[in-house]
Structure 1
Amino acid sequence: MGHPEEVDVIVVGGGPAGCVTAGRLAYADPNLKVMLIEGGVNNRDDPWVYRPGIYVRNMQRNGINDKATFYTDTLESSYLRGRRSIVPCANVLGGGSSINFQMYTRASASDWDDFKTEGWTCKDLFPLMKRLENYQKPCNNDTHGYDGPIAISNGGQVMPVAQDFLRAAHAIGIPYSDDIQDLTTADGAEIWAKYVNRHTGRRSDAATAYVHSVMDVQDNLYLRCNARGSRVLFDANNKAIGVAYVPSRNRAHGGEVLETIVKARKMVVLSSGTLGTPQILERSGVGNAELLNQLGVKVVSDLPGVGEQYQDHYTTLTLFRVSNETVTTDDFLRGVKEVQAEMFQEWEVSPEKARLSSNAIDAGYKLRPTEEELKEMGPEFNELWNRYFKDKPDKPVIFGSIVAGAYADHSLLPAGNYITMFQYLEYPASRGKIHIKSSNPYVEPFFDSGFLNNKADIAPIRWSYKKSREIARRMDAFRGELTSHHPHFHPASPAAVRDIDIETAKQLYPNGLTVGIHMGTWHRPSEPYNASKVHENIKYTEEDDKAIDDWVADHVETTWHSLGTCAMKPREQGGVVDKRLNVYGTQNLKCVDLSICPDNLGTNTYSSALLVGEKGANLIAEDLGLKIRTPHAPVPHAPIPVGRATQQPRH
C-alpha cells in the first residue's frame, strides 16, 4: 500500500496506546485516513514476538536484538554508588506489548482517582477497562471484560512450583486470592495471569489486536515502520498540520537529516511513550522556552513540564537453588539442544498447551507492610506512608513474583535448577527527567532516571528482599541461595546467604543423608526437604540492612514501566496536557500515552497504556464527530471486528 502525503489523523508511535488509538479511529470510519508511524520493525507474524516463552531474547543487549532502544543515564549517580542506570524502550510495532514479560496486572482504583482530573476517575474508566479485555480465566467478580481484543489467561500451562510458592507465601501471612487484579485487593497472592490467548497459545499484543486486524479488512489505515518521529509541524496559529519523520537509522552522509513530511488535515497524536514523546515535543518547539532558545528551536508553547517528573517502578531479583525434580526453564535457557528442540516441537504440534505458551511467571503477590514492619522502615518511608498509602488500602507497596528458572546469563551460573524471585517497588517517590540536547533527532538526549534519589524508596525495597527470601526458604523445592545474586552479608551474621553444602544438607535432612550430586545440587529422593521446619524469620542487624541497601544501589533496575514526562494537570502546576489530552498552547495536537500520567500507577503498565489509548480514542472520536465501534456495532463492509484476528492463528 502506498503512503499518501496527506491524511486526516497522524499517530506518531506504535506502542500499545498508539495502536489502540490508530486502530479504533480507523475502524470507526472507513473514510477517515489514519497514518501510524512507528520507529521499530513490524511485528506481524514474527515468531520471536508471538511465542510467549522466548521473551527473554528480546530483553538482551547483545547486538542481535533490534526490538529495543536503550537509554542510559547521562551522568553517574551517587544514589546508585556511581552506577548509570539503563532503561530499555521497545523498538517494535506494538511497543512493549510485543516484547514484554506478558504479566497481567491492573492499577488500583485510587491510582486513577489520584489523577484528580475530570473524566479520568476509576469509575469513568471502568467501562473502557472491560471494553479492551478478553478475559479467559474463571472469575468471581464483575471487574473484567470478555468481548475485547486483548486476551488474558493462565497461558498454556502453570508450572507446579507456582503452587509451592503460594503455599509458602501463605505461611508468612499472604492470603491466597483467585483475583488480586480486581482494582481493590492490595494484600494477596494468586496464580498470575498472562497476556496469552489460551486458544492459540500466542502473545496478545496491541498491534495484532488493533492494527493488523483493521488493515486486514479496511484500506484507510496506513502503517509506516522503521520511521522515527522528528517533529510536529505548526501553522502560524500553533495548529498542528503535519509531522516530519526520518529513517530510524541515520544512513545520511555528512550528518544530514533527511525528513519526510506528512500533512494532517484534522489531528496529530503523539504516542511515542514517556521517553519519546517529550523529545518530539521539544524538537517541535513545545517545552521549556529557556532550553529551546539555547538549542535554537523556535518556541511554539512554553511548557517547562515537558520531560520532567519521569517515573518508573524498581525491581531487584534474587536466585535460589531448587531440587532436581522441580520443573524449570533452565535447560531451555542454557541452550540444551534436545530440550530446545522438544519445546519448539511442542509449539508446532499444540501451541495452546506448549511450555512456550507460558512466560514461566506463574504466581505472584501484592503486599502492604504491617504496623510492626512500618516501625522498622524509617522516618522517610513512614512520612510517605502516612501521606500516600495509609488512607488508600487498595495501594500495594510491593509486588513479588516467581520465575521457574534463572533470569540470568546461564553461562555464568553453576549448573542446576533455579527459581528467580522478582521484587517490585510500585510507587517510587524518586523522579527523573529527559531533555533533548539538539534539534537533531539522532542525537541522544540528556537522561536522568532519578533512581533512588528519594531516600523513602530504600526501606520498602529492603523489606521486599526480606519478604521474598522468607517465601523461598519455606518452599518445598528450596535447596539453597545462590550467593552471587544476594547481598554480601558478614559471614558470621545469621543473615548470611547459605549456598548448598554438606552442613546445610544435614540440616535439611536431619534423618539421614544420601549424598548424590546431579547438576550441582544435593539430592535425597526418599526424603523431600521439609519446609515446615522453617519457623522463624531471619533476624537482620543494622549492618545487615546496610549490606542490603548497598546491594540495592548496585543492582536495582527498571521494570520498563516509564511514566509521567508530559503530565495531565493544570498548566500552572507544570502540566503539559489538559483533561482531553490537548497540548497546552497548541491546537489539534494531543498526547496519548503513559507520559500523561501525573502520578504513578501500581501495575505492569501494558494494561494502563491500553486504557489510555482507549480513552484517547474516545476523546479524539468525540472531537471528530465519530463513534467508536466495538464488535457489537460493526462498521458496514468490515466483517472482522477489531481484535478478532487474535482468536485464530494466522497461517
Structure 2
Amino acid sequence: MSTLAPPHQIHTEYDLVFAGGGTAACIIASRLAVAFPDLSILVLERGPTTESKMEHIQPGRFLTHLAPESKTMQFYTSTPSEHVAGRSVVVPAGRCIGGGSSVNFMVYNRPSASDFDAWEKEFGNAGWSANDMIPMLQKAETYEIDPNKSTHGSDGPLKVSFGRDEMLDIGRQYLEIGPKLDKNRPRSDEGNGLNEESINVFFQCPKWSSTDGCRSDVAHHYIYNKNLENLSVFDGCLVDRIVIKDGVATGLEYIFDTRVYESAPQDIRSVKALKLVVVSAGAMGSPPILERSGLGKKEILEKAGISVVNDLSGVGANYQDHAFYISPYIADPDSITFDLLFRGDPETWRIAREKWEKDRSGLLSTNIVDSCIKMRPLPHELDELGPEFMDYWNEVLANKPDRPLFWHTISPGLPADQSALPPLKFMSSASILGYPASRGHIHVVSKDPYAVPDFHAGYLSNPADVSALRWAYKKGRELTRRMPAFRGAFAPAHPQFAADSPAALTETRPVPVDAPNIVYSAEDDKAIDANIRQMVQTTWHSLGTCAMKPLPQGGVVDSKLNVHGVQNLKVADLSIPPSNVNSNTYSTAVAIGEKAAMIIAEELGCTL
C-alpha cells in the first residue's frame, strides 16, 4: 500500500455512484440530489475540476482545450485507414467536470423531431420520442433570445443567447449572400425548431452562452452554484471497473489519475453503491469501463485477458461521429476574425481580455459560428449527388423532411493549429454531415485503465458520405466566392484541380451574386474526393457505443437505461443513442441527462 496521501478522502459507500462527471452525469446527479436530500450521491470524474476557471467561463477560450498539452481533453487516435488517405484521426473528448459542456464550441444546434422519434419507433424505446424529449430540452434552458418561442425553454439552468456582441462581418455577409444566391433557401429567425421549417433556411446561430458573455456549462449551472451537502463530486478519479456480484452491480473500483494528480497513490480503491451504479463517461469512456468490468463481446474480452461476466456484443460498437470537412479561404486583411487569437498574438489577447473584463464583450465573449444553414437537397438537386448516394438517401432521409444532409457555416477564422501557416486572415467553409453512414468502434486491449484503446473511427468507409461532402464543398465554395470578404482559396488545403479546369482556384476577389456556378468535370470530382479523404476530421460528436436497443440488435441498455443482464447498473450519456442526431451533441447530452434523472427518480419513488 502506498504511503502517499490521497488527493481526496472518499467514503467507502454511497447510495448512488457515478462513473464519470460529464454533461449527463452533472445534470442527473444534481437533479437527484435536490429531489432526494437524504440520499448520498458520489460522482467520480477522471479529469480536473473546472470551478471558477476562466478557460471554462470565457467562451472565446474554446480552442485552448484542443492544445496537445491540454488536461481537459482525452485524445483518442484512430487506427490508420485507407478511407482517410492512410491517416489516423485524432478525436478529443471532454475530460473534466462538466465534460463536453465545459470545453465545446458552444454552438446551439438541436436535433430534428424525427431523430428522437426514431429512437422510439425504430428501436422500441418507449418514452424517448420527440414528444417526450422536447420537454427535456425545454426544462434545461432559458432561451434568452425569446423565452416564449415554441419548443424552447424559459427558466432552465442553461442560458442560450446570441452572445454579448452583434455578429462579426463575415457572419452578416453569410446571411446576406446566402438567400440572394439561393432563393429556395430564405433567411429565417428559427433554425432550431426541430421541424421541417428549420431546414434549408439561413439563420443566426445561437450560442450556449448568456447575454452576460459567459459559457453555459453544466458544471457551473447544475453543480457549483448549488450547496448540495449530499452530493460529492471528485476530480482526478479514474474508474477502473464496475464491481458485479451474482449479476448485480455493487460498486466501483478506481485509482487517482496521474494526469491530474501526478504524485497520487496508484493503489486500487473501492466504493460501494447501495442502490445504483450509473456509468456516464461518454461515448469514448463508457465502453472501456464496461469492458474492463467483463461486459462486452466475448472474443474482445478474452483477447484482453478479461473474464466475461456478460457477453454483450454491442459494447464499443456502432461508433458514430459527424464527419467534419473544412475548406479555408483567405479573408480581407481588414476582416475581424479569430486567427490572431488562435495564433496567441499577445496584443490581441490583451485587448480581448480587457474587453471581456470591462463589459463581457469582444472575442472572448463569443464563438466562431455566427450564422449557418441546415441544408437538405431539393428534388431537382438529387442528381448532383450521384447514383451512389441514392440508396442512402432513400433509407435515411427521403421520408423524413425534417432531416438535413449537412450543416454548413462560414466561420471568421481557421480553428486549427496555425503555427505552420502564413499569417493570413481566414474564413472557413465548414460542412458537418448530419447522419454519416459510416461506423467505427472502440474497445479495450488490456485490463490496464491507462492503456490506449483500439479505436477505429470508420470515417468515409461508406461512399455515400463522400458524395455528400463533395456536394457540400461545391455549395460552400459558391457561397464563399460571393462574399465581400473573399480574397481567394487557401490552395494547399483545397482539391488540386488541373490548371486548365474551370474549377481551378484562380479567383482572388468576390464574384457577383448572379455569376454562373462553377462547372466540375469527373476529374474535378475525383480531386474533391481525394481532398475530402485527406482533410475530413472529427466534430467531437462521438456517440452510439452503448446503444439503447434490444439485445438481439446489439443493444447494451434498454429504454430505462439498464444494462442488459445486470441489475442496479445504468448507462446515461452520449453512448446510448441508437442512431444519430443532426446537431452538435451538447443539446442531446442535456436531454439524455434530464431524461435519465427523471427515470431514476421515478424508480426511487419521486416524480421530477
Q: What TM-score do you get using the length of structure 2 for normalisation?
A: 0.94
1:535 aligns with 2:539: no
The answer as to whether partners of 2:283 and 2:574 remain within 8 angstroms in 1 is yes
Question: Amino acid of the residue matched to residue 297 of structure 1?
Answer: I
Instruction: Call closer, same or farther: CA 1:409–1:572 in 2, change over 3 Å.
Output: closer
The answer as to whether partners of 1:300 and 1:585 remain within 8 angstroms in 2 is no
Secondary structure in structure 1 of the residue aligned to 2:575: helix
Counterpart of 2:524 (choices 530, 544, 558) is: 544
**Superposition pairs of residues 24-423 of structure 1, within 5 angstroms:** 24-61=31-68, 63=69, 65-74=70-79, 76-115=80-119, 116=121, 117-138=125-146, 141-157=149-165, 158-173=167-182, 174-184=185-195, 185-199=198-212, 201-214=213-226, 217-236=227-246, 238-249=247-258, 258-351=267-360, 353-423=361-431
Question: Amino acid of the residue matched to residue 74 of structure 2?
Answer: T
User: Separation in 2 of the partners of 1:219 and 1:494?
Assistant: 67
Instruction: Call closer, same or farther: CA 1:251–1:465 in 2, change over 3 Å.
Output: closer
User: Separation in 2 of the partners of 1:139 and 1:543?
Assistant: 51
| CA displacement at 1:140 relative to structure 2 | 7.4
Secondary structure in structure 1 of the residue aligned to 2:75: strand
- Indicate the larger mover: 579-588 or 363-372: 363-372
| CA displacement at 1:576 relative to structure 2 | 0.7
| CA displacement at 1:625 relative to structure 2 | 1.2
List gaps (5 residues or longer) in structure 2.
1-7
Question: Amino acid of the residue matched to residue 170 of structure 2?
Answer: V
Please name the residue that 1:593 is paired with.
573
- Indicate the larger mover: 336-345 or 22-31: 336-345
Instruction: Call closer, same or farther: CA 1:175–1:140 in 2, change over 3 Å.
Output: farther
Instruction: Call closer, same or farther: CA 1:579–1:537 in 2, change over 3 Å.
Output: same
User: Separation in 2 of the partners of 1:356 and 1:296?
Assistant: 48
| CA displacement at 1:316 relative to structure 2 | 1.1
The answer as to whether partners of 1:139 and 1:179 remain within 8 angstroms in 2 is no
| CA displacement at 1:250 relative to structure 2 | 7.8
Instruction: Call closer, same or farther: CA 1:187–1:365 in 2, change over 3 Å.
Output: same
Larger Rg: 1
| CA displacement at 1:110 relative to structure 2 | 0.1
The answer as to whether partners of 1:474 and 1:534 remain within 8 angstroms in 2 is no
| CA displacement at 1:92 relative to structure 2 | 1.2
| CA displacement at 1:360 relative to structure 2 | 3.0
User: Separation in 2 of the partners of 1:12 and 1:69?
Assistant: 16
| CA displacement at 1:59 relative to structure 2 | 1.5
The answer as to whether partners of 2:236 and 2:260 remain within 8 angstroms in 1 is no
Instruction: Call closer, same or farther: CA 1:86–1:336 in 2, change over 3 Å.
Output: closer
Question: Amino acid of the residue matched to residue 72 of structure 1?
Answer: T
**Superposition pairs of residues 407-556 of structure 1, within 5 angstroms:** 407-498=415-506, 500=508, 508=509, 531-532=511-512, 534-556=514-536
User: Separation in 2 of the partners of 1:364 and 1:273?
Assistant: 27
List gaps (5 residues or longer) in structure 1.
501-507, 509-528, 629-651
The answer as to whether partners of 1:110 and 1:395 remain within 8 angstroms in 2 is yes
Percent same amino acid among aligned pairs? 40
Secondary structure in structure 2 of the residue aligned to 1:558: coil
Question: Amino acid of the residue matched to residue 235 of structure 2?
Answer: C
C-alpha offsets along residues 560-596 of structure 1, whole Å, 9 cap, x if unaligned?
A: 0011011111111111101100000000000001111
Please name the residue that 1:639 is paired with.
none
Question: Amino acid of the residue matched to residue 603 of structure 1?
Answer: S
Instruction: Call closer, same or farther: CA 1:211–1:176 in 2, change over 3 Å.
Output: same
C-alpha offsets along residues 296-327 of structure 1, whole Å, 9 cap, x if unaligned?
A: 32322211111111111011111122223322
User: Separation in 2 of the partners of 1:489 and 1:213?
Assistant: 55
RMSD of the TM alignment (CA)? 1.8
C-alpha offsets along residues 64-113 of structure 1, whole Å, 9 cap, x if unaligned?
A: x1111111113x21111211111111111111111111100101000011
| CA displacement at 1:187 relative to structure 2 | 1.2
User: Separation in 1 of the partners of 2:245 and 2:415?
Assistant: 50
Question: Amino acid of the residue matched to residue 489 of structure 1?
Answer: F
C-alpha offsets along residues 438-473 of structure 1, whole Å, 9 cap, x if unaligned?
A: 111111111111111111111001111111111111
Q: What TM-score do you get using the length of structure 1 for normalisation?
A: 0.88
Please name the residue that 1:559 is paired with.
539
The answer as to whether partners of 2:148 and 2:154 remain within 8 angstroms in 1 is no
Instruction: Call closer, same or farther: CA 1:251–1:108 in 2, change over 3 Å.
Output: closer
Question: Amino acid of the residue matched to residue 192 of structure 2?
Answer: Q
C-alpha offsets along residues 394-438 of structure 1, whole Å, 9 cap, x if unaligned?
A: 001110112212323333333332211211111000000111111
The answer as to whether partners of 2:71 and 2:259 remain within 8 angstroms in 1 is no
| CA displacement at 1:534 relative to structure 2 | 4.8
| CA displacement at 1:337 relative to structure 2 | 2.6
Counterpart of 2:607 (choices 627, 630, 633) is: 627
Instruction: Call closer, same or farther: CA 1:142–1:219 in 2, change over 3 Å.
Output: same
Please name the residue that 1:616 is paired with.
596
Question: Amino acid of the residue matched to residue 179 of structure 1?
Answer: E
User: Separation in 2 of the partners of 1:406 and 1:618?
Assistant: 41
